[in-house]
Structure 1
């Protein structure tokens, strides 16, 4: 059985789970604030990752890979980069520059490709590089409001968005590097092991940070544990499939195909809010679909 394209359905499941997690976190924001809602994906996702690893170990009888020095460095780098990316993005969005920040954050696939080449030696064909560029331009176009420009909100949101995208890219490369550095185990075992260590590191970092600087948000997340469990489960589920995707192919492939999440969110928004689709959004969707089609063509 040919599993060379198995990363495609894996990535689509991850994107769908992340769409659900984002919706859950948005509802939590109203109850426990932005910081509290952000950290539940780690704090409440970590137990589910541990359960997944235990079940996998029981079902497959595989030995859990032993962490090595490079693995720990990659995991810590990826975990820290993801936290910093989220903090930068939320900080910029508080300045009422949501569309601009989102547009520049979505340059992540391009930056993933560059960092993957530099750090991990993940090479791309010209066709795949073109696919990444086209799909990214489509997302940027969809993220902008009609009549707005990429610099209309000033330089600071632009810089914050690009740097946030860079940290998200570094997080993806860090986690893929960690998975690859484990010399033993199946793709699923190495991905799940990395997920446990990654979420564990992020949980410790955020618990210490919130305990020192934002106890109100920390206690609020504890009091809202029931809805937070849902966000944590969906977050862990999405991450499980992201990491499995990273184990099967380059992070650039995974994060480019993941742009279909924008189309999923768009479909949900128009279905439940009855919003009309603008010409700009249609053009963006065409570019995303075209870029994804080129990406898949480049794998054959």
Structure 2
């Protein structure tokens, strides 16, 4: 049940990262907020990889063309997903933006079954569907019919991008013939490093002044990168051990951490329907762990 521990840890870290990104989005451009997620995560991933090899020596990975394709695809798609998440934060409040993006689990389930050979049990499907209902409840300001079309489309695009990222990360880890922690660590390091290089190059060409703005918020940027690295470490490790839909459904316990952040940091009082959505998430988590 190691994947459960990694998933819970990842959900906790991701809730903190989302809160930090939500605050950064008020001061920085979308590319700058996106880069904040990866800027210091690459060096941390490298240190983690070296630590693994020092503790448990293993061979260097043999990267096939398929593995490289999965890594590149995951890196690009996660950048797209993160940018869409920031746009969601600018459209709606913190809870709604993060909630819509968490529809990743049902999207990953359907894409996984159709294109990636993912197999789910009946209990697994029930858990995924219950989790989807909970997320839709959370994402609606008052009633389901009051969601704007623009927000729905952004949320669906964000969820799909995150789902593809997760599915390609799992495929990349499975394609590397190394022990569990090493293959997950290699994919983590490769994906984050590629993302950092691409984003820095893009910003140097399009808007170099953004780096000055990021420096003005250097502490928050650093904390965002650290939380992102720890969250990615948890997600990548969990997805190397278990199918993406189950990991992401259990990962919806992030809603609980989001509520705590909304109450104690953002000073927002969650409505009763959000509390009921949390009960549904707990129910979904039980089904996927059966």
Matching residue within 185, 191, 200 for 1:198: 191
CA offset digits 1:148-199 (Å, max 9, x no partner): 434542x2322221121111100000111100111x2111000000001100
- TM-score, normalised on structure 2? 0.91
Deviates more, 1:162-171 or 1:59-68: 59-68
- Corresponding residue number in structure 1 for 2:200: 207
* CA–CA separation in structure 1 for the residues paired with 2:277 and 2:18: 21
Matching residue within 75, 79, 82 for 1:79: 75
- Corresponding residue number in structure 1 for 2:233: 240
Q: Closer, same or farther in 2 for the Cα pair 1:57/1:248, shift >3 Å?
A: same
Q: What is the CA distance between 1:33 and its match in structure 2?
A: 4.3
Structure 1 residue runs without a partner (length 5+): none
CA offset digits 1:244-275 (Å, max 9, x no partner): 00111101111111100011111232345665
Q: Closer, same or farther in 2 for the Cα pair 1:132/1:144, shift >3 Å?
A: same
Matching residue within 141, 144, 147 for 1:145: 141
Matching residue within 161, 168, 173 for 2:167: 173
* CA–CA separation in structure 2 for the residues paired with 1:235 and 1:212: 25
Deviates more, 1:261-270 or 1:33-42: 33-42
- Does the aligned pair in 1 maintain the 2:22–2:86 contact within 8 Å? no
* CA–CA separation in structure 2 for the residues paired with 1:142 and 1:157: 13
* CA–CA separation in structure 2 for the residues paired with 1:25 and 1:131: 29
Matching residue within 17, 35, 57 for 1:61: 57
- Corresponding residue number in structure 1 for 2:106: 110
SS at match of 1:121: coil
Coordinate RMSD, CA, aligned: 2.2
Q: What is the CA distance between 1:135 and its match in structure 2?
A: 1.3
Matching residue within 121, 131, 135 for 2:131: 135
Structure 2 residue runs without a partner (length 5+): none
- Does the aligned pair in 1 maintain the 2:100–2:135 contact within 8 Å? no
Matching residue within 19, 36, 57 for 2:15: 19
* 1:259 maps to 2:252: yes
- Does the aligned pair in 2 maintain the 1:79–1:171 contact within 8 Å? yes
